Structure formats: structure tokens, C-alpha cells
């Protein structure tokens, strides 16, 4: 399956270290050779880079590693195709507008009967189950909240319910953001780590690279990273529970929703 990488931070932060390890899984240490993409939210703006070729030897991926784009929120994806051709239109992350904001989405997993999800306002450009599910999810959110909701909790609860429905169709691990919050939903596998003072050294699992974060941060920095699999081998990562939605802002968890037993 595909793999996901996300970041939420309280200060503009580059993701070069984590992305260096992540891109090696795209055709190097992992089989995810069918494209990759990364999106950045920066000071009210948004930009992304997508490439249908393996990230491990992509010149665009090397540019990202060498050009430290500083952002509060990052979403990245490496693809192992199972539905849809290997082409740019099917390369994550996908983006749609809602409430005057660019919403970015990446999905890990495979869904059944996804063509039966009714679409209203949004339509896919490619032919993947992932993008179809994104269009359905965004359409349901927009139908329930035509305007930005005054009660964030109500919108978050609905998002969790929609993710639960998609999990009922198969494997649905999600990264989603509107530029203010990062939403992470676990169907089968997703892990996270929050780095704050006192910062220490981290070693990548997929590349020979270490960094001492104390040399690149201030005591007030908070940076959280979410990935399908832990990216470092000397830090304690925490696994989300199946059916758990976490809402992140400025590196901290602002909401947690779990499957009711």
C-alpha cells in the first residue's frame, strides 16, 4: 500500500529530515514506486509538488530535500498503485476548495464499492478510489456546513463519522488539512511523534542521516510528525488506534475522536 507523512508545527519548520527518510521508501527501501507528492501551507498560501515517478530518484524530490521550505503544515504521500493508472492525475495529494480554503488530502489503503459513493459538488479528475472518496467526503462536509462552522467540534465529529463510513469499505488511513488544522485518521496503521524541548538527536531508519534538533530549534518550538511507519530508530513513536481521528494545530492535539464500542 501507499505511505503517508504529515507535519504540524507551531513555527514555520522545514521537513527536510523526515522527508529524506520518507522518499527512500518510494522505490528504494520500499515498493512505493508509482508516484509521490508533497504539499505545504505557508503564511496563508499553499503550494504542492507531485511527480508520477519514484521519489527515490526524482530530481523534484531532491529539490525538496535541498530547498528547506518552512511551513506550519505539510502533507506528503508515496504511492503503490492498486486502483488507477500511474499518472499525474492519480498522484496524491489531491486538493479542493471549501469555505475559501485549499483542502489537501492523501489516503493510504484500498476501498471496495467506492464507485457507489454519491458525488454532488466535487468530481474526481483521475480514476482512483482515493480521489473519489475525497470528493465524496468534501461534498458531505460542504452539504452539512455550507459556511464555515462556528462549532468546530460539530464539524470534527462529522468528519470522524465520514471516515468511519469509509473505513467500512476497506482500509482508509487519512491525512487532511485546511491550512489551519491537520486531521489524521487511522484505519490500520499510523504513528506520530511530538518533538519539544529538550530536543535531542534523531536517526533515520531508511537513510544514513542523523540530526541534533537542539541545533535547529528554540525552546518554544513544538513539531509533530505523523507517518505510516516510524521514520527514526532511536525515538518513541506512538500508534493511533484503528478508528481514531486526531486534530492537530501548531503541533499539539486539539481534538481526539475514537470508535464507540
Catalytic residues: 2
Q: Which residues pair with 31 in a beta bridge?
A: 26
Question: DSSP labels for 66-80?
Answer: HS---EEEEEEEE--
Strand order in the sheet with 3-13: 45-51, 36-42, 71-78, 3-13, 222-227, 191-196, 238-239
Determine the straight-line distance between the first and last CA of the chain, rounded to whole angstroms: 28
CA-wise closest residue to 48 among 106, 3, 98 = 106
Q: Which residues pair with 4 in a beta bridge?
A: 77
CA angle 102, 253, 180 (to 5 degrees): 20
- Structure-block grid coordinates of residue 138: 468534501
Amino acid at each position: 500500500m501507499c505511505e503517508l507523512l504529515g507535519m504540524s508545527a507551531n513555527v514555520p519548520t522545514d521537513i527536510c529530515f523526515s522527508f529524506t527518510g520518507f522518499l527512500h521508501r518510494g522505490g528504494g527501501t520500499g515498493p512505493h514506486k508509482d508516484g509521490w507528492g508533497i504539499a505545504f501551507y505557508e503564511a496563508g498560501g499553499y503550494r504542492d509538488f507531485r511527480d508520477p515517478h519514484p521519489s527515490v530518484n526524482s530530481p523534484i524530490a531532491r529539490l525538496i530535500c535541498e530547498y528547506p521550505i518552512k511551513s506550519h503544515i505539510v502533507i506528503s504521500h508515496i504511492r503503490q498503485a492498486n486502483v488507477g493508472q500511474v499518472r499525474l492525475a492519480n498522484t496524491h495529494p489531491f486538493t479542493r476548495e471549501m469555505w475559501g480554503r485549499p483542502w489537501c488530502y492523501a489516503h493510504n489503503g484500498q476501498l471496495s464499492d467506492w464507485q457507489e459513493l454519491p458525488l454532488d459538488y466535487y468530481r474526481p479528475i483521475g480514476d482512483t478510489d482515493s480521489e473519489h472518496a475525497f470528493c465524496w467526503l468534501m461534498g458531505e462536509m460542504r452539504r452539512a456546513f455550507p459556511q464555515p462552522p462556528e462549532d468546530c467540534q460539530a464539524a470534527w465529529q462529522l468528519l470522524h463519522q465520514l471516515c468511519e463510513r469509509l473505513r467500512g469499505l476497506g482500509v482508509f488511513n487519512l491525512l487532511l488539512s485546511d491550512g489551519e488544522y491537520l486531521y489524521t485518521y487511522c484505519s490500520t496503521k499510523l504513528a506520530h511523534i511530538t518533538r519539544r524541548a529538550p530536543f535531542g538527536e534523531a536517526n533515520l531508519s531508511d537513510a544514513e542521516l542523523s540530526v541534533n534538533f537542539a541545533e535547529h530549534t528554540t525552546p518554544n518550538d513544538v513539531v509533530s510528525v505523523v507517518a505510516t511507519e516510524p521514520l527514526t530508530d532511536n525515538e518513541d513513536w506512538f500508534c493511533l488506534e484503528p478508528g481514531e481521528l486526531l486534530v492537530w494545530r501548531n503541533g499539539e492535539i486539539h481534538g481526539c475522536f475514537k470508535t464507540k464500542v
